[in-house]
Structure 1
Amino acid sequence: MSRTFKLGVLAAAVMVAAPAVQAYEAGDFIGRVGAATVVPDASSDPITNLSADARVDVDNDTQLGLTMTYMLTDQLGLGVLAATPFSHDIKGAGDLAGLGKLAETKHLPPTVTLQYFPMPSGSKFQPYVGAGVNYTVFFDEKTSGALAGTDIKLDDSFGLAAEVGMDYMLTENIGVNAALWYIDIDTEATIAAANQTIDVSIDPLVYMVGVSYKF
């Protein structure tokens, strides 16, 4: 037999003997951990008790992000987003822009989505999209600067969420992940110093890059 023929037979034998790689299939759990950054697209009603255009804005923050997907089928998964508490500075905007930081708050944004994975289960590259709901809990509000010594309270928020992401499996169990969420977060802020409650829209994009592990 020719050398080429022998190599061909050997390659075919290896392919037959090697088990098919199943990247994702029904019943799998995929855990992911990485850096998650919340970038608010914040706006607020005017604090008219202070001035006609006294408003507030919200800064970015990065924390440890944790996500989990349970594969209901080879192409549908139930996803959960969690994180260590995010901490955001609340700054003056509009007529209050020169006052800098006015307060800070922490929040947890647990989010549940139904995810769709369009690629075959054997593909190492697994993009996905998802849609679901978010419940954001605000806590540990503190005032500073021009509002120091008074109180501010943010109500919890319930809204819709959408996501897009991708996993790439480096081995049978270990991969890399990148994901992006849009979350509808609207809250009411009660500011004691102004004796007023205003609507605040936060509506952040959440970016996450990390590693994944399939169980």
Structure 2
Amino acid sequence: MKRKNNLLSIELGVLILLSSIVPAHAQSAGSTVVSLGWARIMPLSDSDPLTVTSIAGHPVNQVQAGSSGAAKSTDTAGIVIEHYFTDNIGVAVAGGYPAYLDLEGRGTLGKYGVIGKARPWAPQVILRYHFLPAQSKFRPFAGIGVNYTWFTNAQINNSTFVTQSFGPGGSASAHASSSWNPVFELGANYQFDKHWAAGFSFSYIPASTNVTLSGQTATGVNIVSKTKLQLRPITTFLNLSYIF
């Protein structure tokens, strides 16, 4: 009887030890993890000087010396779905609800403040390598991937800028080009339950866009200006994850 009790105590101790180290649903081969959270997007932004390329259809290429612009920081909800193909390697698809990105004037355009805005769409596919064994609760990771960025609802919404650029009764619209970009990512997850984990990550995308500003005077004269806007967003993502 004493021997049986000793064996039972040993087995119980082993089970308790294993349960404290190995979550029932570790982030391992075959797991799928869905993460929802808050993303802070902080562009390292600037632009080339604004260049008037044509007036009434005639090329002019007049550089507006000292003019520039930059995208402002914004916040949005984010989602990441990752599938683990091995204990250490996963592929993540990341995106978010696209908040408007404000474009503010700088240099000679700084007096206008925010000149326009656009809604960016920037889904990402990222190959991740997770460090430490799958049974570890804390697992840092590094990732590299690809992003496609495009813009919708681009607009000029500063009436003072429009009036001073195209005269009383003038109007203006904007277009921003799309682009493919690499993605670089660092982060970590902490699994505190068999199904739940919390995570934090940084990502960087060296993105840029060509902005075309099309204006029209009250008399119908079309004026087209262009600039290259560097976005280069650093994004922090704080999230809560569910492990399937």
Q: Please report the TM-score for the alignment, with normalisation by the length of structure 1.
A: 0.91
Secondary structure of 2:172's counterpart equals coil
Q: Distance between the aligned counterparts of 1:16 and 1:48, measured in 2? A: 71
Residue 156 of structure 1 corresponds to 178
Residue 57 of structure 2 corresponds to none
Quote the offset at 1:137 in angstroms.
Answer: 1.6
Residue 58 of structure 2 corresponds to none
Check if 1:179 corresponds to 2:201.
yes
Which of the two has higher C-alpha Rg?
Answer: 2
Q: Distance between the aligned counterparts of 2:7 and 2:114, measured in 1? A: 70
1:131-172, CA deviations, whole angstroms, 9 ceiling, x for partnerless residues?
011101200012121137301100112111110111101101
Quote the offset at 1:56 in angstroms.
Answer: 1.0
Q: Distance between the aligned counterparts of 2:51 and 2:87, measured in 1? A: 54
Residue 84 of structure 1 corresponds to 97
Quote the offset at 1:123 in angstroms.
Answer: 0.5
1:26-84, CA deviations, whole angstroms, 9 ceiling, x for partnerless residues?
11101100001110011111013362011111111111100111101110000111100
Check if 1:13 corresponds to 2:12.
yes
**Which letter maps to 1:87?**
Y
What does 1:1-215 align with in structure 2 at a 5 Å threshold? 10=9, 12-16=11-15, 20-21=22-23, 23-49=26-52, 51-145=64-158, 146-147=161-162, 149-193=171-215, 195-215=224-244
The answer to whether the 8 A contact 1:37-1:61 is kept is yes
Q: Which moved more, 1:152-161 or 1:12-21?
A: 12-21
Secondary structure of 1:86's counterpart equals coil
Q: Please report the TM-score for the alignment, with normalisation by the length of structure 2.
A: 0.81
Structure 2: stretches of 5+ with no match in the other structure: 53-62, 164-170, 216-222
Secondary structure of 1:147's counterpart equals helix
The answer to whether the 8 A contact 1:187-1:201 is kept is yes
Secondary structure of 1:120's counterpart equals coil
User: Where do 4+ consecutive residues of structure 1 move more than 3 Å?
Assistant: 6-9, 16-20
**Which letter maps to 2:51?**
T
The answer to whether the 8 A contact 1:103-1:147 is kept is no
**Which letter maps to 1:209?**
L
> What value does the CA root-mean-square deviation take over the aligned residues?
2.2
Quote the offset at 1:12 in angstroms.
Answer: 4.5
The alpha-carbon distance between structure 1 residues 7 and 83, as it changes in their structure 2 partners (threshold 3 A), is farther
The answer to whether the 8 A contact 2:51-2:227 is kept is no
Q: Distance between the aligned counterparts of 2:199 and 2:77, measured in 1? A: 14
**Which letter maps to 1:26?**
A
Q: Distance between the aligned counterparts of 1:107 and 1:210, measured in 2? A: 21
The alpha-carbon distance between structure 1 residues 12 and 147, as it changes in their structure 2 partners (threshold 3 A), is farther
